[in-house]
Amino acid sequence: MHVVILAEFAAASGGAEKVALESARGLAEAGLAVTYIQAISGAVDPLLDHAGIQRIDLGLPDIWSLGAAQAAAAGIWHAAAARRLAAALAGLAAPPDCIHLHQWTRTLSPAIVPVLSKTGVPLVVTLHDYALACPNGVYYRFDRAEPCGLAPLSAACLAAPCDPRSRGHKLVRVARAAALRQVVGRASRRHPLHVVHVCDASRQRLGALLGGYALTHHRIDNPVRLPEGPAAAPARGDAIAYVGRLTREKGADLVADAARRAGLPALFIGAGPLEAELRARDGVEVIGWQRPEAVWATLRTRARALAAPSRWYETGPLTVYEALAAGIPVVASDRSGAAEKVRHGRTGFVLAPEVGPLAEAFTALRDDALAASLGAEARRLFRTAPMGLDAHAAALRGLYARLSGAAAGAMQHPDSLAQPR
């Protein structure tokens, strides 16, 4: 079986890229032929160094490196990206059985959808966020610091000043979303579009938002690479840890406020818009981005718990799952997909993303026995149902086999094509 994985980067700077890379490696190790197409030139993760993986670089720029007008035009419809992708697919030594898209917002744009549709190959899209429906991609009102409840591209949506940058930026994103709706709607009527949800909550939420498309929905967990080394020792940890971009929608400020109220230091691993503000606070330590092995060495010795109090409907934050696997209790937002993996009171706490409830949880975690028991149970439960790379690759392989078999049958018997559910 030959699978094309299409992403914009070949190095992990976020969860979507990490999943694309891990998937490529897991599928290659399972014996599939994998072609990894990266849209934007740049660093290449060692995970792609495998005999079963061919890598193609489309040589496109990140649109944010372009001037404002050029970036806006390319973001809405990047014709060059469509041409280069079409040429890359046409030049493959063997046709793919499936194409799996992970990213498209940084340069590929809606222009690639007709290219992918014309191949006639089953197309799978993992929904790492809400960009297939929502103009700003996260279904979140940055102007109100709360989740959105508007119908995408409705009159109320168009009027809402919800973009984190500016109203002008919102207009560009609205135009991109409108273009995407048109081409996806046309493509999904021709061939079923298969979307993969990484948590149950996003499947329910996005299922309602994407009702105008002919879609088939699938549910597959993101892969979790078990951190190497011994189990963590949360009872000896001295801080509440946070890993990721330092933003308000991810709740970084909530961690600092709640940890101070609980009388515990807050340790931030990452960078972002709130970095200067956080560094200026008492009881806060910001150590910036670190290599994965350094992150886990720090968390194993210093984290009493990992906090992930997202204000937005985050889909599947990998760090949360990795922390549980390492034996670190997690305090998660009840709006996040991560809440589905945290057992409240057994492996951590699932709470509203507000300072009061978070501070109560952090205060409870000052008890060494509780921190130790939550961490041990988290590690034990993860091992009873691991979300590892092997399981992820097996689920994908099964999905691709079903879709490629159905496509082959449809080509032999055009009248027998079932309607997508």
> Please, which residues bridge with residue 215 across strands?
193
Q: Do domains 2-223+390-416 and 234-384 have the same CATH topology?
A: yes
H/E run at residue 201 = helix 200-209
> Please, which residues bridge with residue 36 across strands?
5, 55
Structure tokens at 234: 């949360």
CATH code of the domain made up of 2-223+390-416? 3.40.50.2000
In this structure, how many other beta carbons lie within 10 angstroms of the beta carbon of residue 105?
17
Cα 227 from Cα 293, distance rounded (Å): 8
DSSP state letter for 44 = B
Cα 225 from Cα 220, distance rounded (Å): 15
Which residue shows structure tokens 């706490």? 349
Give the DSSP per-residue string, 367-410: SHHHHHHHHHHHHHHHHHS---HHHHHHHHHHHHHHHHHHHHHH
**What number is the average pLDDT over the span 189-210?**
89
- pLDDT above 80 for 407: no
Cα 417 from Cα 234, distance rounded (Å): 54
**Mean pLDDT estimate for the chain:** 93
Name the residue ranges covered by the structural domains of the chain. Answer: 2-223+390-416, 234-384
In this structure, how many other beta carbons lie within 10 angstroms of the beta carbon of residue 384?
6
Give the DSSP per-residue string, 91-149: T-SS--SEEEE---TTTT-TTHHHHHHHT-S-EEEEESSSTTT-TTSS-EETTTTEE--
In this structure, how many other beta carbons lie within 10 angstroms of the beta carbon of residue 126?
26
> Please, which residues bridge with residue 194 across strands?
124, 216
Question: Which pLDDT score is estimated for 225?
Answer: 79
**What number is the average pLDDT over the span 70-91?**
96
Which residue type sits at 404?
S
**Residues 6+ away with beta carbon under 8 Å from 8:** 17, 38, 39, 40, 62, 103, 104, 105, 106, 107, 108
| pLDDT per residue as tens digits for the range 114-136 | 999 999 999 999 999 999 999 99
Q: Comparing C-alpha atoms, which of 332, 331, 337, 329 is closest to residue 382?
A: 329
Which residue shows structure tokens 């931030």? 268
Question: Which pLDDT score is estimated for 408?
Answer: 59
Alpha carbon dihedral 371, 291, 23, 193, in 10-degree steps, equals 90
Please give the angle made by the CA atoms of 184, 187 and 192, to the nearest 5 degrees. 100
| pLDDT per residue as tens digits for the range 251-281 | 999 999 999 999 999 999 999 999 999 999 9
H/E run at residue 333 = strand 330-333
**What number is the average pLDDT over the span 135-149?**
96
Residues of the chain above pLDDT 90, percent: 84
Q: Comparing C-alpha atoms, which of 312, 314, 317, 378 is closest to residue 348?
A: 378
- pLDDT above 70 for 89: yes
Q: In this predicted model, which residue has the larger pLDDT, 53 or 192?
A: 53
Q: Residue 370: left (phi > 0), alpha (psi -120 to 50), or beta? A: alpha
**What number is the average pLDDT over the span 95-104?**
96
- pLDDT above 80 for 409: no
Cα 127 from Cα 222, distance rounded (Å): 11
Question: How would residue 418 be classed by pLDDT, with cut points 50, 70 and 90?
Answer: very low
Q: In this predicted model, which residue has the larger pLDDT, 103 or 413?
A: 103
Q: Comparing C-alpha atoms, which of 300, 404, 346, 405 is closest to residue 3?
A: 404
| pLDDT per residue as tens digits for the range 16-32 | 999 999 999 999 999 99
Asked if CATH classification 3.40.50.2300 holds for the domain at 234-384, the reply, yes or no, is no
- pLDDT above 80 for 227: no
Structure tokens at 174: 């609205």
**What number is the average pLDDT over the span 354-361?**
98
- pLDDT above 80 for 138: yes
Cα 96 from Cα 294, distance rounded (Å): 38
Question: How would residue 413 be classed by pLDDT, with cut points 50, 70 and 90?
Answer: very low
